Amino acid sequence: MQRLLISLLNKDIKQMDEQRNSMEEKILACAKELFLKNGYDGTSTTQIAKLAGCNQALIHYYFRSKEKLLETIINQNSDIILKYFSTIPEGCNLREKICHIIDIHFEFLENNPELPLFLLREMKNNHKFFESFRSVVLSRLGNMLQELQQEMDSEAENRFLKDMKAEDLLLDILSLDVFSFLISIPMVLLNKDEQAKDEFLKKRKEHIKTAITALIENK
């Protein structure tokens, strides 16, 4: 009898944990959808609760505040970015690594097409958020940045790389990538031509690779 009660209790606890995780994931998904659509300041916990089908108290119970909710989403996206960058093969030279970074970031942006416009809007309207996002992403990429810095330091004769920090080089690359996606948006809105946009982005990716690697190889 005691074993049966323990078994039933464990089953109930497991179900409660699954329900909790399911609701947390639903709240996060709804919050992300609304943040991307309306911006951080334009989204309220009331709207998130309505879309998620729960009350505001539950959001505060799980995440304490809208700011903490956003931090959780940022951390989740940082984990995704980290997984992308972890696919870079070992033993690459600096030029090869940069080309891999560009390829990976383009793939990430292709899978998250709404992100560049969201970041641009938040960078303009919510500088605190953008700095937080930048800080989290760079901290999560710490090991990769350290390796990149070592390879950059080994190129002592390169005028472009001299005294440059790895995070600055990475931000330069990521900014060029994001800008490419931003300027491709009118192609879809005005011409509704996805094929032309894809071809444009393909050419932009190769152009960015050529431009950055040319600077690196320029002694």
Confidence of residue 219 (pLDDT cuts 50, 70, 90): low
The CATH 1.10.10.60 domain(s) of the chain lie at 1-64
> Please, where in the chain does CATH 1.10.357.10 lie?
66-217
What confidence category does residue 206 fall into, taking pLDDT thresholds of 50, 70 and 90? very high
Q: Report how far apart the first and last C-alpha atoms of the chain are (Å, whole number).
A: 79
Q: Indicate the pLDDT class of residue 191, thresholds 50, 70 and 90.
A: low
Q: How far apart are CA 52 and CA 58, in angstroms?
A: 10
pLDDT tens by residue, 8-41: 444 444 444 445 568 899 999 999 899 888 888 8
153 pLDDT more than 90: no
Is the distance from CB of 54 to CB of 23 less than 8 angstroms? yes
Of 86, 101, 94, 91, the C-alpha closest to 161 is 94
Give the chain's mean pLDDT. 80
pLDDT at 27: 93
Length of the chain: 219
Question: In the prediction, which pLDDT does 87 show?
Answer: 83
Classify the C-alpha dihedral 170-206-81-20 as positive or negative. positive
pTM of the model: 0.75
Residue 2 has pLDDT above 70, yes or no: no
- The whole-angstrom separation of Cα 65 and Cα 48 is 12
Structure tokens at 164: 């440059």
Nearest partner of 97 among 133, 136, 149, 137, judged by Cα? 149
Residues 60-74 as b or e (16 or more Cβ within 10 Å = b): eebbeebeebbbbbb
Q: 128-146: buried (b, 16+ CB within 10 Å) or exposed (e) per residue?
A: ebbebbeebbeebbeebbe
Give the span between the Cα atoms of 40 and 36, in whole angstroms.
Answer: 8
- Is residue 80 pLDDT above 70, yes or no? yes
The predicted model gives 185-206 an average pLDDT of 79
* Per-residue pLDDT, 148: 85
The arrangement of secondary structure in 1-64, i.e. its CATH architecture, is Orthogonal Bundle (1.10)
66-217, what's its fold?
Answer: Tetracycline Repressor; domain 2 (1.10.357)
Name the nearest CA neighbour of 52 among 15, 21, 23: 23
pLDDT tens for each residue of 91-132 = 888 888 899 999 998 998 888 888 888 877 777 777 777 777
pLDDT of residue 31: 93
Angle among Cα 156, 157, 161 to the nearest 5 degrees reads 65
What per-residue confidence (pLDDT) applies to 48? 94
